[in-house]
Homo-oligomer: A and B are copies of this chain.
Amino acid sequence: MKKISIITLFLVGFQLAAQTLQSPSGSVKLKFSLVNGKPSYEVFYKNKTVVNPSFMGIKLKEGNDLTAEFTVENNGQKVVNETWQPVLGEQSSIRNNYNELTLNLLQKPTKRKLNIIFRVYNEGVAFRYEFPKQPNMNYFIISDEVSEFNLTGDHKAFWLPGDFDSQEYSYMETRLSEVNTENIDMNNGIGLKSIAGKYVVQSPLMMKTSDKVYLNIFEAAVVNYPVMHLDLAPNDFKLKSRLVPNAIGDKAYLQAPCVSPWRTIMVSDDARDIVSSKMILNLNEPSRIDDTSWIKPMKYVGIWWEMHVGKSTWDYAGSQNAQNAADGKLKPTGKHGATTENAKRYIDFAAKHGFDGVLVEGWNAGWEDWFGNWKENVFDFTTPYPDFDLKAVNDYAKSKGVKMIMHHETSGSVSNYERHLDRAIDLMKKYGYPAVKSGYVGRIIPRGEFHDGQTMVNHFNFVAQRMAENKLMVNSHESSRPTGYSRTYPNYIAAEAARGNEFNAWSNGNPPMHETILPFTRLLGGPMDYTPGIFEIKMSAYDPNKKTEQVHTTLAKQLALYVTMYSPLQMAADLPENYEKHLDAFQFIKDVAVDWQESKYLEAEPGDYLTVARKDKRSENWFVGAITDENARNTEIKLDFLSPNKKYKATVYEDGKDADWQKNPKSYVIKTIQVTSKSKIKLHLAQGGGAAISLTPIN
């Protein structure tokens, strides 16, 4: 008996032999080992450890956990170097280049198989769990995932509290050891908060080591699985996956064969490698839509910001209780924004200035008591208010060559939305709406579910699929944050899923550094409908006595955001009358492209600044956006991205010398110069400021 034990030990010892894999460039290295039957990995960047040995595994609700007692039965490597063309994107062609290692693990006592797949890219490592088809595991319930990310030091981190229902926070910038969700100012305008604990943070988590190495922990291809937050041990800088539970505490219901999402660790000593990485998109499946000709980028205006600033309301009958309306009839307050007349005004404005679409929120019955009551049957998504003539508005839009954008606020009642979805889609098709903006403000129904749980992830993906079947585009707000699924369903053109510009209208707002962090975090997963373009920076303009809020940027920075915040769907969010007052600056919003041939990140430092140049997919025009945080900044950018031997007219929209986001946000200067690829342009960015440049070839 003893002899056999020794032999077994020898085999286990053999299993300890580590497997390594490096990136195509050689700078990133992955090491996998079985430590006493437990899977473990390490990550190195330029031969320095960036992730210490970290265990991996899955806990099951029933039966043995898939965390230990493993042997490696087999392993295989693969090299992939391919390119693909996104339907819409920051660049017309994306390279997908990685080395892959698959470990076929066997848990001998249970005869269960688990594969772990690693991919090593030049900018980081990804791994996922694969549950192959097998006799001893078919349906199973994940009670926990124990993917560790054991960091090597007390890095600086840009973090959001681990909230199962919202990502609409400002970023905290602290050392890992200082993370504590109790230190967050919760008077921040977020209506629904479900914070998981003191030391739980959201992914993507952007970090910087004291060696000036940038690290980012995130996930890709979250499909039929909950969102992963991160449990932090603040004393030893260890992170562990924290999956979002469902109503009864389970994490995921799966059936083999299937896979988990990818867990990603991006790493570089150049922040531009992170912000420009297409790793998250690359880790998603190719498009499942064959004919994508109907998926089109859009610039739009809409009846929306005027409600945020208090000029009008979503609801028709004020803060009455819809259910209690006398004689079942609502009495209008006269402040309703979504009237036929007002819609026509926006359509006129869109047509005049060349916008593709007009969004109208508040068009449909139900807004009287839509929020905060956990009410199931709020909207039916098909009944307009009496003062909104669906047919007249759509006919008028058609006559002007403008598309209407549908709006579906669910108020979190997903059961109700799914029940009505087909009818809502029929209505969209009847009137020719090409896209819908959906909203999920409020506690989820089915009750007990969170925005970030498997049920809701599946819902968001289901809506994308169902809309795709009907050739409709989706822009979801208050959804779980995207993880690259827009590669698979490119009609999922944008999402909010972060703190958007509207928080500036009625809360403590978005601090000036906010937009310099989003491209390193939220935007890695897909386009964001941030709704920039606010020219009337101070809300006191709408009510000098009551409103003190303001946008935390200069006007010029609002222009720059059209370039720095990538999205194929961009809103010019301010009111037509505010644009009329600054038609010279508005020209940039009219000119800027939203779908790109290529993108060059020129300067990047999370929390500080970002400068990017992008080339229009449909012309030879380039656009540059540069933003800074609360600190003023002078920079000089080289235009060597321009085609050589060509002359360009550069229109530079810059902060005025006296500009300052707080004191003088509307000071800007516009200058026109002639440039070539050899030119440099000096830019002055005010505190909370930015600059935007359009570059047009001169024939």
Q: Which residue from B255, B323, B447 sits with its C-beta under 8 Å from A247?
A: B447
Contact A257 B324 (CB under 8 A): yes
Would B446 and A373 count as touching, CB distance under 8 A? no
For the complex, is A375 an interface residue (Cβ under 8 Å from B)?
A: yes
**A315, B170: Cα distance in complex, Å:** 53
- Asked whether A419 lies within 8 Å of B462 as measured between CB atoms, the reply is yes
A323 to B255, CA, bound (A): 8
Asked if A250 contacts B375 (CB within 8 A), the reply is no
**From B250, B419, B422, B446, contact of A449 by CB (8 A):** B446
Which of A373, A419, A455, A458 has the most CB atoms of chain B within a 10 A radius of its CB?
A: A419
CB distance from A329 to the nearest CB of B (A): 16
Q: How far is the CB of A334 from chain B (nearest CB, A)?
A: 24
Chain B residues contacting A421 (CB-CB under 8 Å) are: 419
- Interface flag for A7 (CB, 8 Å): no
Which residues of chain B are near A250, meaning CB under 8 Å? 447
From the candidates B374, B415, B423, name the one contacting A422 in the complex (CB within 8 A): B423
Interface flags, A462-492, vs B, CB<8A=1, else 0? 1000000000000000000000000000000
Closest residue of chain B to A248, judged by CB?
Answer: B448
- Count of chain A residues with a beta carbon within 8 Å of a chain B beta carbon: 30
Contacts of A321 in B (CB 8 A): 138
Q: Which residues of B contact A375 (CB under 8 A)?
A: 139, 253, 255
Query: In whole angstroms, how far apart are the Cα atoms of A419 and B449 in the complex?
Result: 17
In the complex, the count of this chain's copies comes to 2
Which residues from B are CB-within-8-Å of A139?
373-375
Cross-interface CB contact of A374 among B138, B253, B447, cutoff 8 Å: B253
Q: Which residue of B has the minimal Cβ distance to A421?
A: B419
Q: How far is the CB of A165 from chain B (nearest CB, A)?
A: 14
Q: Which A residues, 119 to 173, have Cβ-Cβ distances below 8 Å to chain B?
A: 133, 138-139
**Chain B nearest Cβ from A417, distance in angstroms:** 10
In chain A between 382 and 427, which residues have their CB closer than 8 angstroms to a CB of chain B?
415, 418-419, 421-423
The reply on A246 being an interface residue by CB < 8 A is yes
CB of A376 closer than 8 Å to a CB of B: yes
Residues in A247-262 with C-beta less than 8 Å from chain B: 247-248, 250, 253, 255, 257
B418 touches A448 (CB 8 A): no
| Pairwise interchain contact A446-B415, C-beta atoms closer than 8 A | yes
Chain B residues with CB under 8 Å of A423's CB are 422
| Nearest-neighbor residue (CB-CB) of A416 within chain B | B418
Please give me the residue from chain B that is nearest to A422 by CB atom: B422
User: Whole-angstrom distance from the CB of A420 to the nearest CB of chain B?
Assistant: 9
**Nearest CB on B from A60, distance (A):** 14
Question: A248: which B residues are within 8 A, CB to CB?
Answer: 247, 447-448
Q: How far is the CA of A127 from the CA of B172 in the complex (A)?
A: 57
When distances are taken between beta carbons in the complex, the residues of chain B under 8 Å from A376 are 253, 458
Residues of B contacting A462 with CB < 8 Å?
A: 419
Scan residues 499-523 of chain A and give those whose CB is less than 8 A from a CB of chain B.
Answer: none
Question: Which chain B residues lie closer than 8 Å to A255 at the CB level?
Answer: 323, 373, 375
Q: Which parts of A166-207 form the interface with B (CB within 8 Å)?
A: none
Chain B residue with the shortest CB-CB distance to A449: B446
Bound-complex Cα distance A422 to B257 (A): 31
CB of A654 to closest CB in B, whole Å = 51
- State in angstroms the CA–CA spacing of A250 and B447 once bound together: 9
Nearest CB of chain B from residue A418's CB, rounded to whole Å:
5
- Residues of A237-283 contacting chain B, CB below 8 A: 246-248, 250, 253, 255, 257
Which of A133, A374, A448, A449 has the most chain B CB atoms inside 10 A of its CB? A448
**Which residue of the partner chain, among B253, B323, B447, B455, contacts A246 with CB atoms under 8 Å?**
B447
Question: How far, in angstroms, from A250 to B448 measured CA to CA in the complex?
Answer: 10
CB-CB under 8 A from A138, the residues of chain B are 321, 373
Contact among B324, B419, B447, B449 for A418, CB-based, below 8 A = B419
CA distance A699 to B133 in the complex (A): 72
CB under 8 Å from chain B, chain A span 311-329: 321, 323-324
CB distance from A553 to the nearest CB of B (A): 38
Contact B446 A247 (CB under 8 A): yes
Which chain B residues lie closer than 8 Å to A247 at the CB level?
A: 247-248, 446-448
Sample of 27 A–B contacts (CB below 8 Å):
A133-B324, A138-B373, A139-B373, A139-B374, A139-B375, A246-B447, A246-B448, A247-B247, A247-B248, A247-B446, A248-B447, A248-B448, A253-B374, A253-B376, A257-B324, A376-B458, A415-B415, A415-B455, A418-B419, A419-B421, A419-B462, A422-B422, A422-B423, A446-B449, A446-B455, A447-B455, A448-B448
Q: Give 11 new A-B contacts, CB below 8 A, not counting A246-B447, A253-B374, A446-B449.
A: A133-B324, A139-B375, A250-B447, A253-B376, A255-B373, A255-B375, A415-B415, A418-B418, A419-B421, A419-B462, A448-B448
Chain A residues engaging chain B, CB cutoff 8 angstroms: 133, 138-139, 246-248, 250, 253, 255, 257, 321, 323-324, 373-376, 415, 418-419, 421-423, 446-449, 455, 458, 462
Task: List the 3 closest A-B pairs by CB distance, nearest first.
Answer: A446-B446, A247-B247, A422-B422
